[in-house]
Amino acid sequence: MLQRHGGSPRPLLWGMLLAAFLATPLAAQQTPPVLDVDRVLPGIVEIRHTLHANPELSNREEETAALVARHLRSLGLEVEQGVAKTGVVGILRGGRDGPVVAVRADMDALPVTERTDLPFRSTKRTTYLGQEVGVAHACGHDVHTAVALGVASVLAPMRDSLPGTVKFLFQPAEEGPPPGEAGGASLMIEEGALEAPRPDAIFALHSFPDLPVGKVGWISGPTYASSDHFIATIRGRQSHGAYPHLSVDPVVTAAQAILALQTIRSRNLDPTEPGVVSIGIVRGGERMNIIPESIRLEGTIRTYDDSVRTSIKRRIDEILAGVTTAAGADYELEYHPYAPPTTNDPELSSFARDVLEGALGSDAVVEVEPVMGAEDFAWFAREVPGFYFRLGVVAPGTTSGALHTPDFRADDAAIGVGIRAMSSLVIETLRRGGAFAGDGGGAVRP
């Protein structure tokens, strides 16, 4: 294995590896690997059906993790379970020295009742935050897990010829752990998932209902936004609704605060800088003729820039302080960071685009726009150079609901495309020597 110092590859070694790569004839560099995807695909599709019919919520992925671990062990990989509660790490060591490349797949499902007509649709129900809910893979994590298992199945028979090591990270709680629990990518990192061996690059994909099966979407730089959750409790003085002058009305104060918070986007941020402040929950009161003592607001913040993220948080606090002071009320603000912006390493992205075009054809690789959704893959990409791409999942002649909805559906045919794309990225990164410019870092994990 490559010797490392301080989490970064030694420059001399990387110089030798990169020089060897550049000395390889261009045609040889661009020759796609021969991948036996068809051999593994039927079994992987069956695994996907099993995962889809048996979804599990964040930090509760026990059966999913057991299935993943069994499959990896059947391929002869080194397997560690129980990372970040239910996470699984698999290591495939190649027969030749070289870099370490990681593949990440998320395993958790959502509290959504599935409404598709898929023969393997989920009918599972469980209790979430005190309520009985349906459970479904409404974000495509069953596809992501199946693709990663397929990549391991394709690469394992090739291990003797692989110039390096492949590390598979099967992550729980990508959708966020339950309140009061730790989890997700940041906990995996905290528990050492990126060490021994440490990857030189990391890849992941996401099901994308805006692209048809056969196509993948790529982007360099910001691809997914940060996501932070805030809770503001505004406290006034309760009174009879007939005597509002005896109250300090938290309802009116909350309404003013909600409107004022929208000036962050319209008046505090550069108009060219993307950002979102949304209030999704307003709760308070017990009866129509009682002005309550308090109102609870919950919302989300999204941006592509850490400095903007900090500015928005500061302005929320300032606005709440001003509005409540004017009303004679007070407030309490809780701030829960989920994930920083997901940013694709520019050099790795350019390289990945070329590899994807070689593996799938140039017409199958489309440049996409950044979105305001969030992904805690961002934590991994802050540690080592990362590339996160989108996998088309909509079959011809069909439609899919949006992500996180009861009607979201991903076609099985997308799995083979994902396996071929991800396997090609891994192999070509190993061939290259894994040296990319990104240095990780840039965020503090919660």
Per-residue pLDDT tens for 185-195?
A: 999 999 999 99
User: What percent of the chain has pLDDT above 70?
Assistant: 90
- Give pLDDT tens digits for 358-415: 999 999 999 999 999 999 999 999 999 999 999 999 999 999 999 999 999 999 999 9
- Half-sphere exposure of 283 toward its Cβ, with a 13 Å CA cutoff? 8
Work out the average pLDDT over 211-218. 98
Q: Where in the chain is the domain with CATH 3.30.70.360?
A: 227-338
- pLDDT at residue 3, as a whole number: 33
The CATH fold assigned to 4-224+340-432 is Aminopeptidase (3.40.630)
* Count of Cβ atoms closer than 10 Å to residue 128 Cβ: 16
Question: Do residues 225 and 305 lie in contact, with contact meaning Cβ atoms separated by under 8 Å?
Answer: no
- Give pLDDT tens digits for 253-307: 999 999 999 999 999 999 999 999 999 999 999 999 999 999 999 999 999 999 9
**Long-range contacts of range 2-9, CB-CB < 8 Å, 24 or more positions apart?**
2/97, 2/98, 2/99, 2/100, 2/200, 4/198, 7/198, 7/440, 8/439, 9/99, 9/200, 9/434, 9/435
Confidence of residue 59 (pLDDT cuts 50, 70, 90): very high
pTM: 0.89
- pLDDT at residue 423, as a whole number: 98
Burial of 110 per CB tally in 10 Å (0-12, 13-18, 19+):
buried
| CATH class belonging to 227-338 | alpha beta
Q: Looking at this protein, which amino acid is placed at residue 40?
A: V
Comparison of pLDDT for 26 and 429, the residue scoring more: 429
Work out the average pLDDT over 307-316. 96
